[in-house]
Structure 1
Amino acid sequence: MRLVCPSSEKKTHGLWQITKWVSDHNCLGDLMSNNNASLTSAVIARHIVHSIEDDLGYKVKNIVSHIKEVLKVDVSYKKVWYGRRKAIELVFDSWDSNFAELPKYVDALMQSNQGSVIRWLHHSDSTDQMKTFKYVFWAFGPAIDAFHMCRPVICVDDTHLRGEYKGKLLVAVTQDANNQIIPITYAIVDEDTISSWSWFMEQFRYHVTRDRYPICVISYRHNGIIHAMTHFDYWQEPLAFHRFCLRHVRSNLMTHFKGLHLKRLCWAMGRARQLRK
């Protein structure tokens, strides 16, 4: 769309300013189309950057509605998606720079939390000048101390990492006497594989449980966890006991068999402490 009013974008504030007034014009109708080349993703980013600072969960569809209402422009979802990503980078910097700062960040955490542990596993092609981490494991000193005051039971699980670089977050938690959850250890890995879980469980035993025996480990039925619990002597009975999460067991059962009664029986059976029950 051709603009009759002469205007330009000012670098000082990033807004468009009319440089010459034309009394009769038709620059703006009720709604401009999404083909407006002036409204780039960078302009959108600068427009919503403060909203992103206040609410990182600001959704793309809500931004589209906001631009349509305030700027009177019908903008495409894709352009707003890129604008939102650029706004996040304006606030938190890029994914590359954040990952590059990870060693300094973790090191600062370790220095401010006495007794904390961090272990890195780098890719085989890493050099002294350029190291690429494959796994990183850390546990805060206060959490390690708390674990030794809690019941000898841990739950291990994983979840997906969201962002430009995919990966998995492995965690281990315990429960105190007030039945409150205490996170103990974390690890960032590329995938939840036999290799990554074995490495995680090895670090956990060496740096956290240490000489505390026995330990009960609760998990879902992942081959990597099962492998670690059966191939390391210190994770085998009577030094350790492996049990499966009842919620996951019941969920797997209900994929093959339906019914509320069966669902309740499965839970009652899993909670029973005596074989006869």
Structure 2
Amino acid sequence: RAKQKAMEKRYGTFEEAYDTLPRILNILKNRNPGTYVAVQDRESIRPPNYLVIQRAFFAFGACIHAFQCSWPVLCVDGTFLTGKYRGQILTAVGADANNQIIPVAFAFVESENYESWLWFLQHLKWGVMQKRTSICIIHDRNVGLLKAIKELQEDGDGAYYWPDMHSRWCMQHMGANFFKQFNSRRLMNIFKRLCKANQSTKFDE
């Protein structure tokens, strides 16, 4: 409790942090040209008739610009928030021609589910992709994410329609499941070579 009091005195409370988040995002947008932000509210149960933040998305203008000249590949994933109020951070990360990491987009959401992934991908398409086409999305096969990808590929609404998005599985997650199933270093090494093969002839050898 003493640590919490010290943290609140230094950084403010969690409630204050969430309350100022929209203003902080707007400041980032105004002071960083090309930055894209989006906030979604919902009505609080207690007290009623009070709006609280459900989701927040942001992508820095410099990173959006850098992605336009980078490899057409994005890795998307989620990780847990560990503060007083639970939730998750969704991320989209790319790489430039020098294989330097580009932190393309982030979102604070309630959990990793179909609705939150759909919302994240919609804003990724609308605010970040711009004129880029044939983007490959690498992921860990989360059920909600797979459903969201399929909807945007087949039934996306207007600006969110994303028919040329290519969905691929993450080798690291797939490899972990593969090793857990077979528990063989030899098979795992073969699996890695298959994943790294960039020509059909090398894959078939």
Same fold (TM over 0.5): yes
Shift of 1:101: 1.2
Residue aligned with 2:74, SS: strand
For 1:111, give the aligned amino acid: N
Shift of 1:187: 0.3
Structure 1 residue 271 corresponds to structure 2 residue 196: yes
Deviation above 2 Å: which 4+ runs of structure 1? 233-236
Shift of 1:132: 1.1
Q: Could you tell me how far apart the structure 2 residues matched to 1:92 and 1:199 are?
A: 30
Residue aligned with 2:118, SS: helix
Greater strand share, structure number: 2
Choose the corresponding residue for 1:142, options 36, 57, 62.
62
User: After the TM superposition, which residues 110-259 of structure 1 pair with which residues of structure 2 at under 5 Å, given as runs?
Assistant: 110-124=29-43, 130-233=50-153, 234-236=161-163, 239-259=164-184
Q: Could you tell me how far apart the structure 2 residues matched to 1:112 and 1:124 are?
A: 30
Shift of 1:261: 0.9
For 1:254, give the aligned amino acid: F
Residue aligned with 2:182, SS: coil
1:95 touches 1:164 (CA, 8 Å); kept in 2? yes
Q: Could you tell me how far apart the structure 2 residues matched to 1:102 and 1:187 are?
A: 12
Shift of 1:94: 1.1
Structure 1 residue 85 corresponds to structure 2 residue 4: yes
Which residue matches 1:26? Answer: none
Greater helix share, structure number: 2
TM-score between the two structures when normalised by the length of structure 1: 0.66
Q: Could you tell me how far apart the structure 2 residues matched to 1:272 and 1:169 are?
A: 32
For 2:204, give the aligned amino acid: R
Q: Could you tell me how far apart the structure 2 residues matched to 1:196 and 1:140 are?
A: 20
Residue aligned with 1:197, SS: helix
CA distances 1:166-208 after superposition (whole Å, capped 9, x unpaired): 1100010110111111101110000000000011011101111
TM-score between the two structures when normalised by the length of structure 2: 0.88
Q: Could you tell me how far apart the structure 1 residues matched to 2:44 and 2:184 are?
A: 53
Q: Could you tell me how far apart the structure 1 residues matched to 2:197 and 2:50 are?
A: 54
Which residue matches 1:97? Answer: 16
Larger Cα-atom Rg: 1
Structure 2: unaligned runs, 5 residues or longer = 154-160
1:235 touches 1:241 (CA, 8 Å); kept in 2? no
Name the structure, 1 or 2, with higher relative contact order (CA <8 Å, separation 6+).
2
Number of residue pairs matched?
Answer: 192
CA distances 1:9-51 after superposition (whole Å, capped 9, x unpaired): xxxxxxxxxxxxxxxxxxxxxxxxxxxxxxxxxxxxxxxxxxx
Structure 1 residue 107 corresponds to structure 2 residue 26: yes
Q: Could you tell me how far apart the structure 2 residues matched to 1:106 and 1:137 are?
A: 9
1:219 touches 1:243 (CA, 8 Å); kept in 2? yes
RMSD value over aligned CA atoms?
1.6
Shift of 1:235: 3.6
CA distances 1:128-165 after superposition (whole Å, capped 9, x unpaired): x8421211111111111110011111110111111101
CA distances 1:237-277 after superposition (whole Å, capped 9, x unpaired): xx121111101000011121102111111111111221524
Residue aligned with 1:243, SS: strand
Shift of 1:107: 1.3
What fraction of aligned residue pairs are identical, expressed as a percent?
A: 31
Residue aligned with 2:181, SS: coil
1:117 touches 1:207 (CA, 8 Å); kept in 2? yes
